[in-house]
Chains A and B, each alone.
Chain A
Amino acid sequence: MKFHFEIITPEKTVLKDDVDEVIIPTVNGQITILPNHTSLFTQVEQGEISMINNGKAQYLAVAGGFLEVSKNNVILLADYAVRSEEIEVSKAIEAQKRAEKVLKDSQEKVSKKDFALAESEFRRSILELKVASKRRKVNLPPGTNI
Chain B
Amino acid sequence: MASLLQLKRRIMAAQNVSKTTRAMQMIAASKLKRAQIAALSAKTYSEKLSTISKNVTKKIAQKNIHPYITSEMKNEKTMLIIISPDKGLCGGLITNLVKEFLDIQKKEYEYIVIGKKIESKIVHFSNNQVIATFDFGTTIPSFETVFPILKIIDEYFIKKQVSLVKVLYSSFSNIFSQVPKTETLLPISFEANENSTPEDYLFEPNITTLLPSLLKHYLEMSIYRILLESFASEQASRMIAMQNATTNAKEVIEELRLDYNKSRQAKITNEILDISNIQKEEDN
Query: Chain A interface (Cβ within 8 Å of chain B)?
Result: 8-13, 26-28, 38-43, 66, 68, 70-71, 75, 77, 113, 117
CA distance A113 to B38 in the complex (A): 23
A11 near B38 with CB under 8 A, answer yes
A40 near B204 with CB under 8 A, answer yes
Note all chain B residues with C-beta closer than 8 A to A43.
204, 210, 213
CA distance A88 to B248 in the complex (A): 47
Given A71-B199, A77-B45, 16 further pairs, Cβ under 8 A: A10-B45, A10-B143, A13-B41, A39-B199, A39-B201, A41-B52, A41-B55, A41-B201, A41-B204, A66-B214, A70-B55, A75-B48, A75-B52, A77-B48, A77-B52, A113-B144
B199 near A8 with CB under 8 A, answer no
Give the residue name and chain of the B residue nearest to A41 (CB). B201
Which of B44, B143, B202, B224 contacts A40, CB < 8 Å? Answer: B202
A10 near B221 with CB under 8 A, answer yes
Distance of B223 from chain A, by nearest CB (Å): 12
Note all chain A residues with C-beta closer than 8 A to B205.
27-28, 42
B45 near A9 with CB under 8 A, answer yes
With known contacts A39-B199, A43-B213, A8–B204 Cβ distance under 8 A: no
A-B contact count (CB 8 A): 66
Note all chain B residues with C-beta closer than 8 A to A117.
144
Note all chain B residues with C-beta closer than 8 A to A66.
49, 52, 214, 217
B44 near A70 with CB under 8 A, answer no
CA distance A26 to B213 in the complex (A): 14
Residue B125 interfacial (CB < 8 Å): no
In this complex, how many residues of chain B approach chain A with their Cβ under 8 Å: the count is 27
CA distance A94 to B246 in the complex (A): 43
Note all chain A residues with C-beta closer than 8 A to B147.
113
29 A-B residue pairs with Cβ-Cβ distance under 8 Å, sorted by A, are A8-B44, A8-B45, A10-B42, A10-B143, A10-B221, A10-B224, A11-B42, A28-B205, A39-B200, A40-B202, A40-B204, A41-B55, A41-B56, A41-B201, A41-B202, A41-B204, A43-B204, A43-B210, A43-B213, A66-B49, A66-B214, A70-B55, A70-B199, A71-B199, A77-B45, A77-B48, A77-B52, A113-B144, A113-B147
Distance of A47 from chain B, by nearest CB (Å): 15
CA distance A90 to B205 in the complex (A): 37
Note all chain A residues with C-beta closer than 8 A to B224.
10
Chain B 54-75 interface mask (CB, 8 Å, partner A; 1/0): 0110000000000000000000
Residue B203 interfacial (CB < 8 Å): yes
CA distance A113 to B146 in the complex (A): 12
Give the residue name and chain of the A residue nearest to B37 (CB). A12
Name the interface residues of B166-207: CB closer than 8 Å to any CB of A: 199-205
Name the interface residues of B226-265: CB closer than 8 Å to any CB of A: none
Q: Which 6 A-B pairs have the closest CB atoms?
A: A42-B204, A40-B202, A39-B199, A41-B201, A12-B41, A39-B201
Distance of A75 from chain B, by nearest CB (Å): 6
CA distance A52 to B64 in the complex (A): 41
Most buried by B among A9, A11, A13, A66: A66
CA distance A13 to B144 in the complex (A): 21
Name the interface residues of B20-52: CB closer than 8 Å to any CB of A: 38, 41-42, 44-45, 48-49, 52
Give the residue name and chain of the B residue nearest to A29 (CB). B204
Give the residue name and chain of the A residue nearest to B200 (CB). A39
Note all chain A residues with C-beta closer than 8 A to B56.
41
Distance of A77 from chain B, by nearest CB (Å): 6
Note all chain B residues with C-beta closer than 8 A to A28.
204-205
Note all chain B residues with C-beta closer than 8 A to A8.
44-45, 48
B202 near A38 with CB under 8 A, answer yes
A77 near B41 with CB under 8 A, answer no
Chain B 128-147 interface mask (CB, 8 Å, partner A; 1/0): 00000000000000011001
Distance of A4 from chain B, by nearest CB (Å): 13
CA distance A28 to B204 in the complex (A): 7
B203 near A41 with CB under 8 A, answer yes
